[in-house]
A = this chain, B = another copy of it.
Amino acid sequence: MTTLAWPEVPGQKCQARSARRELEDSLKVLITGGTGFLGLMLARRLLLRGELTGRSGKPEPVDSLVLFDAVVPPRRPDGLDSRAEILSGDISDAGLVASLVDRPDISVFHLASMVSYGSELDFDGAMRVNLDGGRRVLEACRHRAEGCRLVFTSSIAAFGGDAMPEVVTDNTKLTPETTYGTTKAICELLVNDYARKGFVDGRTARLPTVVIRPGRPNAAASSWVSGIFREPLNGEECVVPVELTTRVPLAGYRTIIENLVRLHELDGEGLGNDRALNLPGLDVTGQEMIAGLRNAADRGLGPIKVRPDPAITQIYKSWATRSSSERALAMGLARDDNVESIVRAYIEDFLDGPVATE
């Protein structure tokens, strides 16, 4: 066997070796749905934090952060530095998704999803994005970064049905009555089996409704739960599409982001074979949301009107109104103090603070 002779540059070999060691001791993070509200929040948090505990079980610097989403935003969002790269494409494209998982030392947050009401209107789209997309991400991890950590965001909208108990627990059967919930429940099952087989060290966070999302309403049936705070704080009118007696488990985005990171960092073995858990939430009615808003608001508020929408009301009838989170709390995940603290955080972050509204 012959060896090719390369001109040796003093110090180069040493530099290469040191670069390799640095790589081995650092992490790439892939966030699908990365330019959505939660994806960007999570990205900023990870960049600020600088490190994450992944498969090695110890904190490692994040040297690369890929935000993958269906579309690239028109301008680069604030709060991202040179470590962050935004890539766009179809999450049901197996080759493309595989190309995102290009090294074994990767950690994945799989947030990409069509939302609830949108899925109800576009069954095939929901199957393609939520179900096929989920499978593509799991397969890419399995084949290109076997055993890597992955956090999947499911939803308490995966609960539903006539037999649903008053309080949904970690052990409540998932009998969703939306296509959105169905695809989430299916991906939970897949994450469990991929974890059991050792393909991916997956964990599923079943999210309550996340508030307060800045910007405009979206196609989620739960969009109003942000609007009921956001529009009045902006001095605008809010129209609520369900009765104010409707009770909703919700959580502030700061707590959600914190819990996604904590769930990623804990030892997966401790989760057992059911890798899914309800994230802690507050179970509050529309009336209680308004009361909390009034207590916490430091400004005049726009009016709140109730105009029930039959389709949204129907979806809410099938959804859980109270959730418990024994497993998450036992594993040290966080819970919001109250509605007021959620409102104050939003005012700080989006109305008074340095982060631009979207």
Select the stretch in A90-98, A103-111, A190-198, A210-218 that faces chain B: A190-198
Interface centre among A161, A182, A189, A274 (most CB of B within 10 A): A189
Chain B residue, CB-CB nearest to A180? B193
30 contacts between A and B (CB under 8 A): A123-B197, A127-B135, A160-B273, A161-B272, A161-B273, A162-B272, A162-B274, A163-B170, A163-B274, A172-B173, A173-B173, A173-B174, A174-B174, A174-B189, A175-B192, A175-B273, A175-B274, A176-B189, A176-B193, A177-B273, A179-B197, A182-B189, A182-B190, A182-B192, A182-B193, A185-B189, A186-B186, A186-B189, A186-B190, A189-B189
Within 8 A of B (CB), among A226-276: 272-274
Alpha-carbon gap, A186 to B135, bound state (A): 13
Residues of chain B lying within 8 A (CB to CB) of residue A161: 272-274
Q: Does A357 contact B (CB under 8 A)?
A: no
State in angstroms the CA–CA spacing of A76 and B163 once bound together: 46
Q: Report Cα–Cα, A189/B273, bound state, in Å.
A: 20
A185 to B, closest residue via Cβ: B189
**Tier of interface size on chain A:** 20 to 34
Complex Cα distance, B179 from A192, in Å, reads 10
Asked if A177 and B162 make an inter-chain contact with CB atoms under 8 angstroms apart, the answer reads no
Asked whether B197 lies within 8 Å of A162 as measured between CB atoms, the reply is no
Contacting pair B273 A162 (CB below 8 A): yes
Residues of B within 8 A of A274 (CB): 161-163, 175
Bound together, the chains give a CA A273 to CA B189 distance in angstroms of 20
Give A205 to B171 CA distance when docked, in angstroms: 22
Minimum distance in angstroms from A246 CB to a CB of chain B: 20
User: Which B residues touch A172, using CB under 8 A?
Assistant: 173
Q: Which of A123, A161, A186 has the most CB of B within 10 A?
A: A186
Contacts of A135 in B (CB 8 A): 127
Interface residues of A in 138-186 (CB under 8 A from B): 160-163, 170-177, 179, 182, 185-186
Q: Cα distance A163–B179 when bound, in Å?
A: 26
Q: Which residue of chain B lies nearest to A124 when distances are taken between CB atoms in the complex? A: B139
Q: Report the separation of the CA atoms of residues A185 and B173 in the bound assembly, to the nearest whole angstrom.
A: 11
